[in-house]
Amino acid sequence: MERDIIQDILSYIDDNIYAKITIEELSRKFYLNKDYIMRLFKKESGKTIIQYMNEKRIYLSLPKLQETEDYILKVALTHGFTSQEYYTETFTKVMGVNPIVYRKFTKNHPSVTEEEISCIRKNLTELKYQLDQIHNRKQTIPTTPVKTLTRHL
């Protein structure tokens, strides 16, 4: 049952990743105590709900930083962050460099140091692995099997 709850929560978050999602909202939506949801999510995923949402949003914003010259504020707002400052702070925690350095990295800018390149590669690999692990866990969570009816001829 707990795994079904986490599967439902992950699906809801993934389907609404760019919207403002609060623990209170999840509590109301799933008719569960917010402390219970937070503990259960952390136990099953290894991350808090906020960490998961922020990391997923950062990961989803990477192509936009690479492919466009949009202002960082626009990238932040279109990926579910409420301000450029919070996006940059979160981005730096997750990726080890700020969004401007990451963008320069994607353009092979000569001002990006070997240390920054190494940090980006390491953190990107780790982030992708962690998100894949959570996604794979979501996919492998057993659901109640549905019996199929067969007609005997």
Q: Which of 141, 41, 57, 140 is nearest to 94 (CA)?
A: 57
> Domain 2-140 adopts which CATH fold?
Arc Repressor Mutant, subunit A (1.10.10)
Give 37-73 pLDDT, tens digit per residue.
999 999 988 999 999 999 999 999 999 999 999 999 9
Q: How confident is the model at residue 132 (pLDDT cuts 50, 70, 90)?
A: very high
Q: How confident is the model at residue 138 (pLDDT cuts 50, 70, 90)?
A: low
Instruction: Write down the mean pLDDT value for the chain.
Output: 89
Indicate the domain borders of the chain. Answer: 2-140
Q: How confident is the model at residue 1 (pLDDT cuts 50, 70, 90)?
A: low
Q: What is the mean predicted confidence (pLDDT) over 34-39?
A: 95
